[in-house]
Amino acid sequence: MSADLWNSAVRVLETNWSTDHMVPSRGLYPHQWSWDTAFIAVGLASVNPTRAWRDLRSLFAAQWPDGRVPHIVFDPRTAEDDYFPGPGFWDVPAYGGRPARGSTGLVQPPLHAVAAWEVYRRAVAHGAVCARESGEQLAWLYPRLVAQQEYLTGRRDAGGDGLASVVHPWESGLDNSPSWDAALAAVPADPALLERFRRRDIENADAAHRPTDIDYARYVGLAAGYRDGGYADTALAHRHGFVVECPSFNAILAAAELALVQIAKVVGADPAQHRERARRITTAISGHLFDPATRTFRSRDVRTRTLSPARCINGLMPLLLPDLPAGQARAIMAEARSARFGLPAQTGLPLPSYDRTATDFDPLRYWRGPIWINANWLLRRGMLVHGFRDEAEELRLAMIRLVHASGHFEYYHPRTGAGIGAPAFSWTAALALDLLADRSVPAYARAA
């Protein structure tokens, strides 16, 4: 099984490589996505570290002067009509040597420092030449990674409590998660937007598997509003319709700081600032996003200061953080074991993206029920950080079995394990390689 899965994953990554970057999949996703690049780099580290560095550099070459890393970098060889919302919709002006309309103005979870550290440590294991070349790549990336963190912890701290806010569900990476339903309910849904702008996603995928038209109308309206405001982040809670603190996004933000502790040591920078920032973010997550009544982490609407009632997989991600209070780590594991999610020991499968017992649980629709390998990969890392080694190994094996049996799909049915969404999906293939290659505790957590 291992050799077959390894070879099939390598073939997916070969197929999806596009000159200087990786596309998530051919057809549905023809450009470069931000957090996809991070997951993909982790897998490429085992088979082609040169491409891993090239993919990361391609993304960060599109970084904005304010430090934000756009959630999509557009391939100029792809026609405007081949993807919506395309470059013309976002209408981003030229910046930093980049052409106009070269990216979006949104961001995604900043997993890139974690990815860069993983690529580096794999390269070191391959000898001095690889280590030297990777050290040079880290030196190029380090100030850009720091700028990304400073943007998110500074301009995006809309609530003033030390947490980064997302201004669009797409920024979370968990596009139509029920975690956003309460906050989105206050956002007008204008069906006329979908008459002006034709959805391209449902031309390449089953509409029953994708966000609804109502959700999509809200997404387009929010994106247009942020664009029309010049992508400014001032007074977001007072003038923008969606401003939410996500436990997963912020856990990744803190994990990135822990990875930067290690990177700073390599490049000769001061790691103390990153260690302290990781501590502050962890404290803020623990203090503001944990619901003591249900002992779960929830997203928080900055505009209303209320926690989402939905129990989603993003609430399990603070387990990534080694300084999370032990009681909260145990609470996450209790939630993971419960009937709402279920570990592989109970279900035989990785965890779903949403509470299985919820009345609106949907086994087909994107982040409203299906299994995602990237979310489970992050959760496994958190289990290792907090010493839940048996559960982490069970989850690793469940992910490997699922991908081997069903293929490298975008996501999977939470009851049958059948592949759903885009086939030959890059991060699924890349993370399958990592799961086959690496059983260790994340290095950033061991030595931070």
Options 75, 215, 410, 434, the catalytic residue: 410
Element (H, E) at 446: helix 443-447
81 flagged as catalytic: no
Whether the CB-CB separation of 134 and 119 falls below 8 Å is answered with yes
Per-residue burial over 372-411, b = 16 or more CB atoms within 10 Å of its CB, e = otherwise = bbbbbbbbbbbbbbbebeebbebbbebbbbbbbebbbbbb
Q: Is the separation of the CB atoms in 261 and 278 below 8 Å?
A: yes
Please check whether residue 333 is in contact with residue 391, taking contact to mean a CB–CB distance below 8 angstroms: yes
- Report the distance separating Cα 112 and Cα 22, nearest Å: 15
DSSP 19: T
Q: Is 360 a catalytic residue?
A: no
DSSP assignment string, 40-102:
HHHHHTTT-HHHHHHHHHHHHTT--TTS---SEE--TTS-GGGSSS-HHHH-PPPBTTBPTT-
Per DSSP, the residues of 325-343 read: -HHHHHHHHHHHHSTTS--
Query: Residue 75 in contact with residue 32, Cβ under 8 Å?
Result: yes
Q: Pick the catalytic residue from 55, 75, 175, 215.
A: 175
Q: Find the DSSP H helices in 268-411.
A: 272-288, 326-337, 344-347, 373-385, 389-406
Burial class (CB in 10 A: 0-12, 13-18, 19+), 140: middle
| Residue 32 three-state SS | strand
- Enumerate the active-site residues: 175, 410
